[in-house]
Amino acid sequence: MPTPSTSEPQQLLDLATRAAHAAGAELLRRYGRIEGLETKSSATDPVSDADRASERMLVEMILAERPDDGIIGEEGADHRSASGYTWVIDPLDGTVNYLYQLDNFSVSIAVEAATEGETPDGTGDPVVAVVCDPVTGRTFTATRGGGAFLDGRRLQVNEPVPMDRAMVATGFGYDPARRAAQGAFVARLLPRVRDIRRMGSAALDLCAVAAGTVDAYFEEGIQHWDRAAGALIVREAGGLMTEFTPTGQPSGWLAAGPSLHAVLTEFPGGGK
Ligand code: LIP
């Protein structure tokens, strides 16, 4: 594991923030003018030149200043780390919202440090996180052990939250059969909570938990780059984020304050 100098997390945070803002500006420049539209895992899983341009910009900025760091990106960036640090980037989280001009999308960047003896392949511990919302200019940040912030204001999850007062954000996969099972679980949960929100960007959903603008977020099938930065921001705001697979699908996660996290984990079909 790299031994960061005292200023290294701050240097990483500074570069991640500048890169996220530059990529966000590129997304806004292209907003409303979709070009190079293609689909990935299904006909409803889009990618466009905006995603690709944002990722190219992030990779160029990161490697120009930190050529020995690794990078893993949603749109194919794959650079091995020689420094022990790996950048995990989602250049446009909330792609479908972007396509429909629904103003809820983000640039999500996490920097992970390989743990002792492990290869730095992006499965290390996040040490720095930045999630930028280009439409509002909001920038969520966190450093491990240094707290979570929104534009410099310290964040804290809502705690305690009784289940019947909980505002719960979620999302659904692209596969119709998986969506049916996920919808059935939400149908069981809906009468037990205050309300459900489906906002379309996992990174911003996790930041909403950290900021207390929702009480919990869960989703199955989210990718490492969707959640890497948001996970650190939630944890540094006093929240818990653990695996959660209510319909038995892979890569399911739940983020909430401790009391609500415990209740939702025990909800029938909620735990692993
Ligand atoms: C999206 C996630 C969202 C999920 C979507 C999609 P993308 O990521 O942020 O939570 O429900 O299906 O995976 O593809 O926009 O980067």
Q: Is the pLDDT of residue 18 over 60?
A: yes
Strands 70-73 and 85-93: parallel
Which residue's CA lies nearest to atom 6 of ligand 1?
94
Q: Which residue has the higher pLDDT, 91 or 37?
A: 91
Q: Is the pLDDT of residue 40 over 90?
A: no
Residues having CB within 6 Å of any atom of ligand 1: 74, 90, 93-95, 171-172, 174, 200-202, 219, 222, 226
The whole-number average pLDDT for the span 240-258 is 96
Q: Which residue has the tokens 């992030």?
A: 58
**What is the model's pLDDT at position 35?**
84
**What is the model's pLDDT at position 272?**
45
Which atom of ligand 1 is nearest to 173's Cα? 12
Which residue's CA lies nearest to atom 12 of ligand 1?
173
Probe residue for ligand 1, chosen from 96, 103, 132, 206 as the CB with the greatest number of ligand atoms within 8 Å: 96
Domain boundary among 154, 178, 206: 154
Distance 209 CA to ligand 1 centre (A): 17
Count Cα atoms within 13 angstroms, Cβ side, for 122: 22
Residue 3 pLDDT class (50, 70, 90 cuts): low
Average pLDDT over the chain, rounded to an integer: 93
Domain boundary among 135, 154, 173: 154
Note whether 49 and 20 are same-domain residues: yes
Note whether 129 and 193 are same-domain residues: no
Give the domain CATH number at 118: 3.30.540.10
For the chain, give the percent of residues with pLDDT over 70.
Answer: 93
Note whether 39 and 132 are same-domain residues: yes
Which atom of ligand 1 is nearest to 45's Cα? 14
> How much is the pTM?
0.94
**What is the model's pLDDT at position 117?**
59
The whole-number average pLDDT for the span 136-162 is 98
What total number of domains does the chain contain?
Answer: 2
Q: Do the domain assignments include residue 22? A: yes
Which atom of ligand 1 is nearest to 225's Cα? 16
Identify the domain containing residue 258 by its residue range: 163-265
Note whether 228 and 248 are same-domain residues: yes
Residue 123 pLDDT class (50, 70, 90 cuts): low
Query: Angle 197-110-63 (CA atoms, 0-180°, nearest 5)?
Result: 140
**What is the model's pLDDT at position 129?**
98
Where is average pLDDT lowest: 35-39, 93-97, 127-131, 174-178? 35-39
Q: Is the pLDDT of residue 6 over 70?
A: no
How far is 201 from 225, CA to CA, in rounded Å? 12
Q: Do the domain assignments include residue 272? A: no
Distance 73 CA to ligand 1 centre (A): 14
Note whether 14 and 142 are same-domain residues: yes
> pLDDT by residue (tens digit) across 208-217?
999 999 999 9
Q: Do the domain assignments include residue 69? A: yes
Which neighbouring-strand residues pair with 70?
86
How far is 176 from 183, CA to CA, in rounded Å? 10
Note whether 62 and 37 are same-domain residues: yes
Note whether 105 and 223 are same-domain residues: no
Probe residue for ligand 1, chosen from 217, 226, 253 as the CB with the greatest number of ligand atoms within 8 Å: 226
Closest to 126 measured CA to CA, from 224, 252, 22, 245: 224
**What is the model's pLDDT at position 42?**
75
Strands 216-220 and 167-170: parallel
